[in-house]
Amino acid sequence: MKALVEQKTILLIILMGILLVGCSATRKPDHELSVNNVPPSYKNLENNYWWECDFRVTWPEDGEIDWGMDLLLAHAVVSPVLVEHSNNISYWRFHRRAARDAAGHQFSFIFYSNPETAAVVLSEIANSKRLRDAYEANLLKTVLIDDPDQPLLPNVEDTSDRNWSPVLQKNWPSFIMGASSLWLGLIDEYMQNSAENYTDIHLLLDRYREVNEKITETWSVEGQHAFLHHLNAMFGYAPLRIRKTLSF
């Protein structure tokens, strides 16, 4: 009888241990995570703000959009600075757009960090040799850079679309950072040679134009399965409401 009681006691202790392990596994970690691409609810985001650097690309009235410039700016100007300071940047992304309005053809680098990191990052981008070369070659009209002494957007959802639900606004930066990282990785893979090997900015731009065509082909041929299918799978293959004609 005593042996049976002891066995029951041992089993109860083991069961309690399993339950405690299960509970601890679902708790958020007490320490600050160093991994960048995790949900904002798992991260210490105190004293972080959104910062933006907008590159306005020269686009003649009768000319075509030069999408290769976006790649040059992302890979030759922003990427070296991003790699150097990535541990201190909570979220980052690229944004590409072109329309016949005041902003015109604009490539943007947007990131979320503390003001001290922002000051260094923005300064290094502004003083990039490749950026200066592009400006002197009239490939750029102007560059607009946020003032690190005037932080304005403290919330992780502050640069998301206000038409989205609040919970989506807050978690979207993780998604778009991953997409931006993938795009930058494709540039790096297709580039083969370092941008530093090109002394002429026009020859460098020609190379990025070639790379842009390869990435466009990758998107066109493989995007349906690699991107859209697997994104749909992430949401359990639930139907998606398309409210207007879109170009995927």
Domain boundaries defined on the chain: 48-234
The four Cα atoms 136, 54, 75, 50 give a dihedral, to 10 degrees, of 150
Nearest to 207 by CA among 31, 53, 68: 68
Q: Which helix (H) or strand (E) holds 121?
A: helix 115-126
What's residue 236's pLDDT? 96
pLDDT, tens digit (0-9, with 9 covering 90-100), for 209-226:
999 999 999 999 999 999
Q: Which amino acid is at 75?
A: H
Mean pLDDT of 123-138: 97
Cβ neighbours, 10 Å, residue 131: 21
pLDDT, tens digit (0-9, with 9 covering 90-100), for 173-199:
999 999 999 999 999 999 987 788 889
- Secondary structure (3-state) at 8: helix
- Predicted structure pTM score: 0.84
For residue 140 the two structure tokens come to 């750029």
Binned at pLDDT 50, 70 and 90, residue 36 comes out as: low
- Report the Cα–Cα distance between both ends of the chain, in Å, rounded: 72
The residue written with tokens 């998604």 in the block is: 175
Binned at pLDDT 50, 70 and 90, residue 246 comes out as: low
- Cα Rg, the chain, nearest whole Å: 24
Query: Which of 3.30.70.100, 3.30.450.40, 3.40.50.11540, 2.70.150.10 would CATH assign to domain 48-234?
Result: 3.30.70.100
pLDDT, tens digit (0-9, with 9 covering 90-100), for 134-168:
999 999 999 999 999 999 999 999 999 999 999 99
Nearest to 73 by CA among 147, 135, 146: 135
* Residue with the larger pLDDT of the pair 39 and 23: 39
CA–chain centroid gap for 58, Å, is 24
- Secondary structure (3-state) at 169: helix
Answer for the pair 208, 75: CB distance below 8 angstroms, yes or no: yes
pLDDT, tens digit (0-9, with 9 covering 90-100), for 59-106:
999 999 999 999 999 999 999 999 999 999 999 999 999 999 999 999
What's residue 195's pLDDT? 80
